[in-house]
Structure 1
């Protein structure tokens, strides 16, 4: 079985990816600053990748500020690619976002697009897993869109999915051959306002969700179809109504 290094392997998605790969007999190793591997400073990167067949990158920037997030993904990915060439890694898998190739002014998307470009041009066979928004970020989307007791969100379409399903897709990509680009999504489309409204209603959150198509999403006004997958995307089965009861908000 393959030796697979999971960068960001202690986080929400990474920890699940590591567990799934190990369940299928792979030598999966979590790499993160807490395990002595820092892709920004380059500490421990070469040692961690020595002998690796596959590198999975699910690390995320601690800041969404325009300059900081771009610097994070360019630096981290550049350091990883250099170490992969040295180690002879045969497959680079990265988790990214549906919509990075469509017009929008979201700084985070621009940074992920820059990361994707580095990977495509690296010469290392790759799989880019483009995922839709996670159910797990329902609460944070509401919080950043709240003024007083009102949550203002656009009706732009969203096709969210469970982090568990995202991890399944990433683990499958890591265990398989490089495929270039794939898109993954949940089974249902909602207006973003409807998605958050359903979640807050289920959780007895007293805030009122109002549709406002001029309201920003992470700082940018987006088009109706920016965040939904293309035809041919892999669709996972977990529905919002099934996910919500199993995932109460953190206290």
Structure 2
């Protein structure tokens, strides 16, 4: 068995897919894992660290889009954003099926490889959908809108277009604390994802004083005014708004 260790991003995973596929060792004799993840070393196993190659990643993308279809490409991209640590190998197994059956593979949920991709994509899309309503912005003295989130999945690449469409005339930043990256959108410009290192311009904007305290007071006054204490239902509230989102929402501070 040969295990290919790859970086967690999309290009890193596709680079490992390319190396494993072109190795000629047979699909049953190779496996993909994330580099740096804790693992127990297996006997009679060769570990190969794959350097991310944008060129090889593009080759895989061209093959998927040209021979199978863009819909399959979109699914593996969404799956690459999942929190599932086994996503590299699941994507690889799914592509084996996809190249065999074509674009119709997306409807073959009876296949374990397809079902696993479907479940990962559903989880990513669901969290992204929730965050389109749960993201809260605060405004700095310079007029920049800033927000902090802590998603389980790496949803920023699909969350950013929603807010770019909703707030095209505003300058805003959404910082993902769990993945240490942020999407930056200048007024009337296009958004970009940057990695946060705790220094520089991005850190300075995130650490600025904002109008959050003012809006916290307004939300508290609003809830105290309209709330009917006899009808309070915490269990129902947690069903519609999980506890893990609340530390990032102004009205729950």
| Fold match (TM-score > 0.5) | no
Which fold has the larger relative contact order, with Cα–Cα distance below 8 Å and residues 6 or more apart in sequence? 1
Report the TM-score range of the alignment, normalised by the length of the smaller protein.
under 0.3
TM-score (norm 2): 0.26
Structure of greater Rg:
2
Q: Which has the higher strand share?
A: 1
TM-score (norm 1): 0.27
Q: Which has the higher helix share?
A: 2
